[in-house]
């Protein structure tokens, strides 16, 4: 595959990630803010409802394994990706109307209606999470199917950069419906904007997903011989057989644990970053909101550059260590900025932290795609996705919990010392994850998994 053709393919596949980025802005950004601020729904109920999509992350393993077995029209991944996209677009429309329905209950003053309608919204987001898992897990497996080991660092750079592009573009486009988050708007105008948004956005997103995926996956050839027999046996492989293969390499459990640690440490600041800007640097609400853009742009640059400039030279393991060390140093620089009450230093440190995080993310994703088997890519991607989803959720909860803990020790959770404690824990976690990723051995993984897979397939073919 020529370089220009490969880059075009990567950009095309990146449209799928861009759509997921835009959806995250809508569900975790717009819906969250409207429910809590404008519609005055209790924050705990809102967090429960929107967070339920992460509770079903375990389904990623099943969807990945089913995509390994699928042979619909000689395709494995495409039916799941497009079918899942259709489901999450419909559920986005349903969720938007449920948000408005919940808002009506809040304005009527009926707490009972607020609670049970909030629980219905939670159920909608459980289904939404299942649809995301059904689509995104086979999509990541498709990246393994259409790339070689040498191409994957560049592929990760482009595809995951498009995720950040989708977040930025989504924020800009969605704001055209609702206006600036800093502006005062009439409630009726907001409701009208939400109605337009949930009608147009799902249609646009589904169209882009179809354009991104259709025709990309190579059809399985009905060849005869050993390879065909292995494919057929894989199709009949049960989840218990897949679990046997997963246990066949010690690297599976090791990488699962390290990837969980890395994801946990990377997002530990998510719940405390904006309050830190407000408490320590006296930033207003809109200014602290824009801190995510500072970090996000740095992450985008880090991810985009790493696959082309760093990983091919250092290898994924040493690149992960480099990113971990840089991320840890710049987290500590944010603490120093708070000690000095220097807003420019804080912004610079936050941007550089994003760059370091992007470097680590690219390296870990490259390792993640490399730690698969072509016949079971979906299953392995499901396992890695499970680690990331639950670790990120735990990080969000733990960030607030650690802030409260350090607050008890320092006298107030709104003290500089309490926030500094959280950032120091994060720096230690990032450094430890970078060091542990050095021990990931993709060749040992491939050998052990191939051995276990051959044993299982031999029993299936007997």
**Tens-place pLDDT, residues 385-418:** 888 888 877 887 787 778 888 888 888 777 889 8
Predicted confidence at residue 176, as pLDDT, reads 66
Residues 208 and 295 in one domain: no
- CATH code: domain of residue 453: 1.20.1250.20
Judged by average pLDDT, the poorest of 121-125, 242-246, 409-413 is 242-246
CATH number at residue 212: 1.20.1250
- 16 pLDDT exceeds 90? yes
Please indicate, yes or no, whether residues 304 and 171 belong to a single structural domain of this protein.
Answer: no
pTM of the full predicted structure? Answer: 0.76
Q: How many domains does the chain have?
A: 2
d(CA 8, CA 102): 43
177-225, pLDDT tens digit by residue? Answer: 665 444 545 667 667 778 888 888 899 999 999 999 998 998 877 654 4
Q: To which residue do tokens 């400039």 refer?
A: 309
Q: Which of 170, 190, 216 is the last residue of a domain?
A: 216
Mind giving me the DSSP string for 371-406?
SS-GGGHHHHHHHHHHHHHHHHHHHHHHHHHHHHHH
Give Cα separations from 122 to 45, 125, 129, 199, 439 (angstroms): 9, 5, 10, 21, 40
Question: Which helix (DSSP H) or strand (DSSP E) does residue 35 occupy?
Answer: none
251 is a domain residue: yes
Three-class SS string for 405-420?
Answer: HHHHHHCCCCCHHHHH
Residue that terminates a domain, selected from 216, 239, 264: 216
Query: What domain range is 271 assigned to?
Result: 231-462
Last residue of a domain, one of 192, 216, 240: 216
- CA–CA distances in Å: residue 415 to residues 219, 268, 279, 283, 405: 59, 18, 8, 15, 12
Q: 187 with 258, same domain?
A: no
Q: Which of 226-230, 342-346, 405-409, 447-451 has the lowest mean pLDDT?
A: 226-230
Whether residues 196 and 248 fall in one domain: no
C-alpha–C-alpha distance, residues 117 and 105, integer Å: 8
Statement to judge: residues 30 and 78 lie in one domain: yes
Looking at the fold, whether 190 and 327 belong to one and the same domain comes out as: no
Rounded Cα distance, 166 and 169, in Å: 5
175 and 255: one domain? no
Same-domain check for residues 260 and 152: no
Query: Is residue 271 within 8 Å of 396, Cβ to Cβ?
Result: yes
CA distance 427 to 425: 5
Answer whether residue 2 is part of any domain.
Answer: no
Residue 222 resides in a domain: no
Same-domain status, 236 and 119: no
Residues 6+ apart with CB under 8 A from 207: none
Q: Cβ neighbours of residue 114 under 8 Å, at least 6 residues apart?
A: 41, 42, 45, 102, 105, 106
Judge whether 376 and 242 are in contact, CB under 8 Å. yes
């Amino acid at each position: 595959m020529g370089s220009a053709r490969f880059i075009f393919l990567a950009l095309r596949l990146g449209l799928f990630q861009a759509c997921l980025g835009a959806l995250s802005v809508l569900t975790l950004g717009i819906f969250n803010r409207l429910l809590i601020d404008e519609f005055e729904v209790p924050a705990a109920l809102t967090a429960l409802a929107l967070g339920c999509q992460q509770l079903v992350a375990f389904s990623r393993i099943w969807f990945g394994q089913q995509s390994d077995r699928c042979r619909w029209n000689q395709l494995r991944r495409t039916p799941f990706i497009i079918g899942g996209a259709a489901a999450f677009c419909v559920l986005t429309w349903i969720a938007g109307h449920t948000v408005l329905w919940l808002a009506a209950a809040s304005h009527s003053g009926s707490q009972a209606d607020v609670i049970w309608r909030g629980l219905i919204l939670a159920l909608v987001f459980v289904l939404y999470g299942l649809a995301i898992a059904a689509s995104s897990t086979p999509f990541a497996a498709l990246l393994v199917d259409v790339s070689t080991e040498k191409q994957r660092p560049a592929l990760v750079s482009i595809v995951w950069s498009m995720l950040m592009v989708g977040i930025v573009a989504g924020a800009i486009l969605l704001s055209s419906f609702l206006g600036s988050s800093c502006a005062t708007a009439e409630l009726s105008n907001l409701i009208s904007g939400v109605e337009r948004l949930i009608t147009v956005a799902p249609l646009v997103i589904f169209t882009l997903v179809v354009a991104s995926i259709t025709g990309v996956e190579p059809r399985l050839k009905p060849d005869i011989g050993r390879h065909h027999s292995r494919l057929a046996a894989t199709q009949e492989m049960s989840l218990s057989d897949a679990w046997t293969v997963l246990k066949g390499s010690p690297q599976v459990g090791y990488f699962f644990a390290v990837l969980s640690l890395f994801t946990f440490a990377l997002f530990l600041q998510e719940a405390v970053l904006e309050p830190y800007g407000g408490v320590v640097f006296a930033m207003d609400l809109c200014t602290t909101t824009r801190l995510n853009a500072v970090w996000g742009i740095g992450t985008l640059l880090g991810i985009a550059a790493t696959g082309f400039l760093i990983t091919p030279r250092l290898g994924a393991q040493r690149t992960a260590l480099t990113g971990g060390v840089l991320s840890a140093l710049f987290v500590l620089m944010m603490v120093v900025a708070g000690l000095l009450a220097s807003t420019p230093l804080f912004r610079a440190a936050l941007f550089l932290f994003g760059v370091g995080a992007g470097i680590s993310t690219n390296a870990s994703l490259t390792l993640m795609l490399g730690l698969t088997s072509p016949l079971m890519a979906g299953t392995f991607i499901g396992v890695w996705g499970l680690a990331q989803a639950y670790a990120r959720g735990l990080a969000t909860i733990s960030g607030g919990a650690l802030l409260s803990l350090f607050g008890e020790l320092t006298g107030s959770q709104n003290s500089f010392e309490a926030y500094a404690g959280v950032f120091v824990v994060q720096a230690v976690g990032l450094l430890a994850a970078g060091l542990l990723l050095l021990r990931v051995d993709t060749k040992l993984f491939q050998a052990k998994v191939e051995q276990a897979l051959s044993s299982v397939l031999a029993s299936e073919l007997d």
